[in-house]
Amino acid sequence: MNINEMYKQKLTTADEAVKLVEDGWRVIFPPAIGQPPTLMSALARRKDEFNFLELLVVIDVYFTELMNIKKEDSIKIDYCMPIFSRKAIQDGSQTYTPARLSQIISFIDMGRLYQCAMLQVSPMDEFGYFSMGTNCDFALPVGKKAQKVIVQVNENMPRTFGRNLWHVSEVDAIVEDTVPLTCLPALPPNETEKLIGQHIADMIDDGACIQLGVGSMPNAVALCLEDKKDLGVHTEMMPDAIRVLWEKGVITNRRKNFHPDLMLTSLAIGTEEMYKWLNNNPAIHFYPTDYILDPYIIGKNDNMICINSALQVDLTGQVNAESMGYVQ
């Protein structure tokens, strides 16, 4: 059977595809943009058919019917870094499991197995491969061990490279639905953030390999790096700030000693301009979080500088980047 025949055989509707999920299973989704909203809503509509179903969502960025799930329903939703569902966690309707993205794969390997992975992917290429686009994170290695893999094909999802591909022979059901990708606006820094950004920029030399987070603080740093030369990138999350520096010729990756000439990341969230920039860009490779965030791997980069935001620092130098009191 050729790849096109295989594709047609597995093509179905969202409501039919989610019937592959059995009672008592655990289902995993990629964080953020890689989540398949059409499949998530279809699964929520099956809530009365289950006695128990656990979902790992991690970062929610789409408004789906899962947001209507109540505490007494059979579907239990677990988050690590919620956005829209923080109130549901605070009132006990849903679960919050503290975890670093780098830890999730090892947690699952220790016994919290997931039987189904649902992903949002770019259209199949001529060789039969789907790209996970903005994501790779933990969903790829966990999904490779799952009993069932269901994909939502979205023409808006950029085709990216790295270890983030699925062959049509590896998936069990294919659903086509092109929906807008959630965008995160590039937040302009305030005056205080600009001062902090300049202070940080003064500590970054030409040729350094940088990691930037998402938000106004990384944008402030990026604005102050425009006079730097030949910076490289090894970052957990790809923000718009890196796209801007690449377009201005500041980021070239030419002086990287590890994965030279390439930017490495695990997931991306940003503006529509960034998603267009990612599409078919051979300079960006996506790898799982247990690779990107492995201290041994990070340490292979010469002159590595990580820049992240924090909420509090106490008098002993401990940094809090998670929550203010009981509010995440």
- 3-state DSSP assignment of residue 27: strand
Q: Name the H helices within the chain.
A: 3-10, 14-17, 37-44, 86-90, 101-109, 139-144, 191-201, 216-223, 240-247, 272-278, 289-292, 295-298
Tokens found for residue 163? 């270890």
Angle at 183 (CA atoms; ends 182, 185), nearest 5 degrees:
155
User: Rounded CA gap, 295 and 236, in Å?
Assistant: 12
Give backbone dihedrals phi and psi of 238, rounded to 5 degrees, phi first.
-95, 110
Angle at 21 (CA atoms; ends 16, 26), nearest 5 degrees:
150
User: Rounded CA gap, 317 and 102, in Å?
Assistant: 23
Active site annotation includes 236:
yes
**Annotated active-site residue in 126, 236, 247, 322:** 236
C-alpha distance from residue 54 to each of 51, 69, 278 (Å) = 10, 12, 32
Catalytic residues: 236
